[in-house]
Structure formats: C-alpha cells, structure tokens
Amino acid sequence: MKIRIKFLKQGSMKFIGHLDMMRYFQKVMRRAGVDIRYSEGFSPHQIMSFAAPLGVGITSSGEYFDIEVLSTDSSVVMVDRINQVMPEEIRVLNYRRLDDSDKNAMSLVAAADYTLTFRQGYEPKDLNEFFRDLDTFYHQPEIRIVKKTKRGHKDMDLKPLIYRLDRHGDAVFLQVSTGSTDNIKPELVMETFYESRHEIYPKFAFQIHREEVYGQKDGTGALIPLEEFGEDIE
C-alpha cells in the first residue's frame, strides 16, 4: 500500500539538511512501529521518496514524502503514533493512502508557494514603494536572467515560471515552478528584483517559509496540493 505523508518543519529544525531529514524519518518509522516495506536484495532499505528537497534555513508547512507499507492503522492513529516520537518542531499533518497507479510525490511536483517575511533590520525604508516596484517588476512582458546550470549558464525568461507574486500584508507571496525541469528558487526571483532596482540582494533579508507543494492533475493541468492525490484511511 502506498502512503503519502505531509509534515511541517519549523524552529531550529530548519537547519537540518535534506539528507539528514531522510535519515531522521527512517529512524522515526522504526520508532513509531510503522510497518514500512523494505527493498529486496543484499542491502534492504526502507521504500521512501521525498517530494522536493527543502533548502537549509527554510521553514515549511507543506513537506511531503511517500512510503510503502505492508499494513497500517487509520490515518488518525498513524499521525498520532508518528508525532509521539518526534519533537514539536516537526509534526506530521496527514497520512493518506494512494492508489497503486499514482505517481510518486517527487515526479508529481510542479509548483510551490512561499511566503517571504523581512527579518528585523532588513525592512525597506519605504515599504509601499518597495511593493509598488515589485508589482511593476512582475507585470513586465518578460524577465530576462542568466541562470547557472550544470552545463554552464543559460539565458532565459523567468516570467512564465513565476505563477504569482504579490503582497501579503508586509510579506512577499510567491508561487513558482518547482520540480526537476524548471526549479525556481524564491531567492532567485528576489535577487533579480533587487537587481532591477539597482540594489544588491541582501542574502539574509528574508525568512522564507514554504507554504505548499503542488502537482498537476492529469488531463487538466490544474495545480493541486500533493495531499489531495490521496485519501484518508478510516
């Protein structure tokens, strides 16, 4: 049986990197008594796949990974069982069954939402002017950048890969393309914006929080949260 788990990551746990998070959840599965399926062969390992690696220093309320289990209790029982063996800064939010034909979370990822909040001391002198410039920046016909790739540098238009960019209170909200093909980091968008204002992007200006990760629904191309591909176990 395929299971998709959604969790949040906050507080000091934001400093734990992706590989360490994978090892952490492998231990959690054992401590929580999850009847997880192991691969076959000389060196069996838990069948576990994460949706989209989260950068160090970024918090999130929309992280996902998939596992396969041999047996399971209800979603409510499993969420409680797993949370009992974890610190408060990491919480499982749901535990949902997938159809056998469903793609794994990693291959589904198409977009992600981010909220960027100014750290103390990094707020612009004129917040309203900042957001007016941000709106003008986003509504350009195109946003040309030179992006570093494994093969060197690539000239590209960033605009089609930014699905939303607007103001939420005193914070910046972003929805960007995410995944193996076009993976756009919020830092890249903001660095490009600061350059358009002839300013140097201060790397630690924002606390970045990932709100949600989306996949595309077959046949429609609509973006839906990865959790909605599954259903609760009663």
d(CA 9, CA 13): 6
Burial, 208: exposed, middle or buried (Cβ in 10 Å; 0-12, 13-18, 19+)? buried
Residue matched to tokens 């690539």: 154
Q: Give the other-Cβ count within 10 Å of 165's Cβ.
A: 20
CA distance to 19, 21, 130, 187, per residue, from 125 (Å): 39, 38, 9, 21
Q: Which residues pair with 162 in a beta bridge?
A: 176
Average pLDDT score, the chain: 93
What is the SS3 assignment for 217? coil
Which among 87, 112, 85, 67 is positioned nearest to 8, based on CA atoms?
87
Residue type, 2: K
Which among 157, 52, 64, 59 is positioned nearest to 114, based on CA atoms?
59
d(CA 163, CA 149): 22
d(CA 184, CA 174): 11
For the stretch 154-205, pLDDT in tens is 788 999 999 999 999 999 999 999 987 788 999 999 999 999 999 999 989 9
For the stretch 192-222, pLDDT in tens is 999 999 999 998 999 999 999 999 887 677 8
Residue type, 215: G
Question: What is the model's pLDDT at position 219?
Answer: 62
Inform me whether the pLDDT recorded for 26 exceeds 70: yes
Is residue 97 very low, low, confident or very high in pLDDT (cuts 50, 70, 90)?
very high
d(CA 207, CA 185): 14
Is residue 153 very low, low, confident or very high in pLDDT (cuts 50, 70, 90)?
confident
